[in-house]
């Protein structure tokens, strides 16, 4: 059985949201994802919806996605598609190790969650500084 082509925009969004979640977790001292809980949800939604970078010594926030899209993605990957915390953590590791402009293939369950949730509002985007 073949799956329809997964839009590049959605793959880019997945990489951006997870890379951001990894960076947010790293900056706040949060340990590696091992289970879904209230902190995991908050970090995921924060990392999915806002990119925080430092430019000229100042923190610059760029909106990536509507929080409702991010909450939908989180709930779908966790509750509907049952993406294990271990599989999500493994994907976060791949994203953290990827070179700029390279997008590791997201787990199928994450792709399904993103696909289901885009369109509830504007959906995740790639910030101008992150485009290659």
Give the burial string for 29-49 (b: 16+ CB within 10 Å, else e).
Answer: eeeebeebeeebeebbbbbbb
pLDDT in tens, 80-132: 999 999 998 888 888 888 888 888 899 999 999 999 998 544 444 445 554 44
Sorted by sequence, the CB contacts under 8 Å of residue 56 that are 6+ apart come out as none
pLDDT averaged over every residue in the chain: 75
Angstrom distance (rounded) from CA 13 to CA 65: 9
Question: For a pLDDT cut of 70, what percent of the chain falls above it?
Answer: 64
Structural domain spans, the chain: 8-126
């Amino acid at each position: 059985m073949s799956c329809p082509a997964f839009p590049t925009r959605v793959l880019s969004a997945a990489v951006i949201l997870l890379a951001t979640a990894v960076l947010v977790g790293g900056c706040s001292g949060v340990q590696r994802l091992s289970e879904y809980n209230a902190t995991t949800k908050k970090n995921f939604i924060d990392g999915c919806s806002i990119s925080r970078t430092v430019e000229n010594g100042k923190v610059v926030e760029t909106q990536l996605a509507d929080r409702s899209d991010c909450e939908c993605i989180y709930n779908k990957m966790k509750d509907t598609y049952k993406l294990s915390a271990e599989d999500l953590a493994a994907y976060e590791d791949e994203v953290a190790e990827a070179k700029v402009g390279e997008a590791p293939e997201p787990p199928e369950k994450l792709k399904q969650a993103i696909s289901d949730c885009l369109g509830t509002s504007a959906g995740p985007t790639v910030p101008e500084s992150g485009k290659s």
